[in-house]
């Protein structure tokens, strides 16, 4: 049936390895090797088990499977790692025209249906190979046609037959499985992500991970016992974005009660409660970030999505933080965020019922408060006592 050739199916042809290709890393200069090593290590953590060997090369990473063909889920897992442009299953073939032709004919016969077109292409990374890339395509393509009488379509074949020629090996390639691109986690510093359990925060955290950041998480909870957090959606959501990167994660749990107790000691305008709570979160998150040697706070804010995310309210938040605040979703619309969260498998989790701290604060916040007004209202609160109390009651868990 048409399209079957594009479905990854290692049972059809025995792939003995997977080739991991990267794009952005390839543009690096003297530190390219360091970036490749980090990416290779992340892939090793994602693909545990015996019989898997990961080797680093200047322009790719090779994953070998000693115990049989490469399974679909293993190749898909490698393709989920940040820094990967695409992954393709490969099979080593003899480094001569006859061996390449036999492999191409076998691939077509295993995958073809009546009338299926084919096209042969090659990328010659080894310039000492006796045939150029176009010559390989023409001669191997001729051999396939002679053996099968199949129709040729070089622009959009039903069955693309691709070869990669290296100094030591020639590989027949399978389907290209797209990766997220970007940079491998661990090359761009550390961030502390405010994590609410909604749709936005996991998407924001993942986007920072895609830029190479290791990410810790801070969550403000309403429970008397932080162990109650284990019963909800927070931990599964964090693991949904960290495990595919081979990363553990630290989760800082901060009680809401310290803010609530401070608010009970004085009266502030109700419409400023939410902006004051967000400033409280900024203070706590920035201090935790400094303790953990993180370089910035990350939030899931995007401009003008809700009342608390107007430019004035975002400015008020930044004013309370002692370190930089990153907002990778700032210009996204809601549908774009939903689409990303669905790709990350966090969307359905985010819809689960959970008691969010912000639901306890005034529901009709001021959308354009002056910073001086916010500071003056905050001056009526025992801010430092609230902050110290919250930090003293914060617990930190490591999530595998």
The CA radius of gyration of the chain, in Å to the nearest whole number, is 27
Each residue of 215-235: pLDDT tens digit?
A: 999 999 988 899 999 988 999
Burial of 32 (0-12, 13-18, 19+ CB in 10 A): middle
State the CB neighbour count (10 A cutoff) for residue 348: 11
CATH fold of 4-178 reads VC0802-like (3.30.2130)
CATH of domain 190-399: 3.40.50.620
Residues of the chain with pLDDT under 50: 1-11
Sign (positive or negative) of CA dihedral 147, 149, 150, 152 = positive
pLDDT for residue 6 = 43
pLDDT digits 0-9 by tens, 284-299: 999 999 999 999 999 9
At 70 the pLDDT is 60
DSSP H or E stretch at residue 40 = helix 32-46
Show the 3-state SS of 223-271: CCCHHHHHHCCHHHHHHHHHHHHCCCEEEEEEECHHHHHHHHCCCCCHH
Residues in Cβ contact with 256 at an 8 Å cutoff, skipping those fewer than 6 apart:
220, 221, 222, 357, 360
Nearest partner of 20 among 48, 49, 42, judged by Cα = 42
In the chain, CATH 3.30.2130.30 covers 4-178
Intervals of CATH 3.40.50.620 along the chain: 190-399
Note the pLDDT of residue 14.
72
CB 256 within 8 A of CB 214: no
């Amino acid at each position: 049936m048409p399209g079957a050739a594009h479905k990854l199916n290692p049972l059809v042809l025995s792939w003995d390895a997977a080739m991991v290709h990267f794009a952005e890393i390839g543009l690096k200069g003297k530190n390219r090797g360091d970036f490749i090593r980090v990416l290779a290590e992340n892939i090793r953590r994602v693909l545990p088990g015996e019989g898997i060997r990961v080797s680093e090369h200047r322009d790719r990473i090779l994953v070998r499977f000693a115990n049989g063909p490469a399974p679909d889920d293993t190749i898909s897992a490698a393709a989920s790692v940040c820094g990967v442009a695409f992954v393709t299953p490969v099979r080593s073939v003899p480094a001569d025209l006859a061996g390449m032709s036999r492999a191409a004919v076998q691939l077509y016969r295993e995958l073809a249906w009546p009338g299926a077109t084919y096209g042969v292409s090659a990328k010659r990374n080894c310039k000492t190979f006796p045939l150029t890339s176009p010559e390989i395509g023409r001669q191997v393509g001729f051999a396939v046609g002679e053996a099968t009488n199949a129709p040729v379509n070089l622009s959009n074949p039903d069955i693309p037959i691709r070869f990669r020629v290296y100094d030591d090996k020639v590989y027949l390639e399978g389907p290209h499985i797209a990766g997220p691109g970007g940079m491998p986690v661990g090359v761009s510093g550390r961030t502390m992500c405010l994590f609410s359990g909604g749709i936005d925060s996991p998407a924001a955290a993942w986007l920072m991970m895609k830029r190479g950041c290791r990410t810790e998480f801070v969550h403000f909870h309403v429970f008397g016992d932080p162990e109650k957090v284990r019963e909800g959606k927070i931990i599964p959501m964090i693991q949904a974005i960290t495990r595919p990167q081979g990363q553990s994660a630290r989760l800082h749990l901060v009680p809401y009660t310290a803010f609530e107790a401070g608010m009970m000691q004085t009266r502030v305008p109700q419409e400023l409660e939410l902006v004051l709570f967000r400033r409280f979160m900024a203070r706590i998150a920035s201090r935790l970030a400094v303790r953990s040697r993180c370089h910035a706070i990350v939030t899931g804010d995007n401009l003008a999505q809700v009342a608390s995310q107007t430019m004035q309210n975002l400015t008020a938040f930044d004013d309370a933080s002692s370190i930089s605040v990153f907002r990778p979703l700032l210009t996204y619309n809601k549908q774009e965020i939903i689409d990303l969260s669905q790709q990350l498998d966090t969307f359905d989790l985010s819809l689960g019922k959970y008691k969010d701290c912000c639901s306890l604060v005034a529901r009709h916040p001021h959308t354009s408060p002056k910073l001086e007004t916010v500071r003056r209202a905050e001056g009526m609160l025992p801010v430092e006592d609230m902050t110290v109390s919250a930090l003293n009651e914060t617990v930190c868990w490591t999530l595998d």
